[in-house]
Structure 1
């Protein structure tokens, strides 16, 4: 039985988060957590927290069965673009340059290997 966890409107670009999601996609949960714990990108912290939440959701769904005993894998992880906050920056000769502050939505699905 699979479990889902979502992170909405995290204020970093989706491309940066996808780079990290591609590293851990399809791995066993313990190995993915170990990689995220020591990864230098700042996006690794919220992604590890989200993965722990998905593990907890799976344990709740399966009546308290321990995740360590059941060989959980990170079945699916995908990153979608979130809302974009638009700002203006002053530019020469009275013009303005647009600044787009991007955010993203991350969805993680964990499932047992069997």
Structure 2
């Protein structure tokens, strides 16, 4: 699972196996280890919500998705889900969770578990 943070936006991108694991188990977590601490980011299913939520506690970003999305996401053509959360200071936090596509440009990272890019020419 990749994370991209820019300003007040958080994007999680998951490979095929990660989406399947999330839909089967109801959660997926990844970590980045630093010399003095560990930063974690998690995607979790949650009952009783109608759109995504997020929190940051104990060096962990937790994005919660309605549990109803688990039933069909892995096997559907749905690319992802997004939500805009109002913050107490009047600003917004934008959340995006999506399937990770094969990049169109040259890259050295392993993309064998990524989804086919719909923009790729066959």
Name the TM-score, length of structure 2 as normaliser.
0.29
Structure label with greater radius of gyration: 1
Structure with bigger helix share is 1
Name the TM-score, length of structure 1 as normaliser.
0.30
Structure with bigger strand share is 2
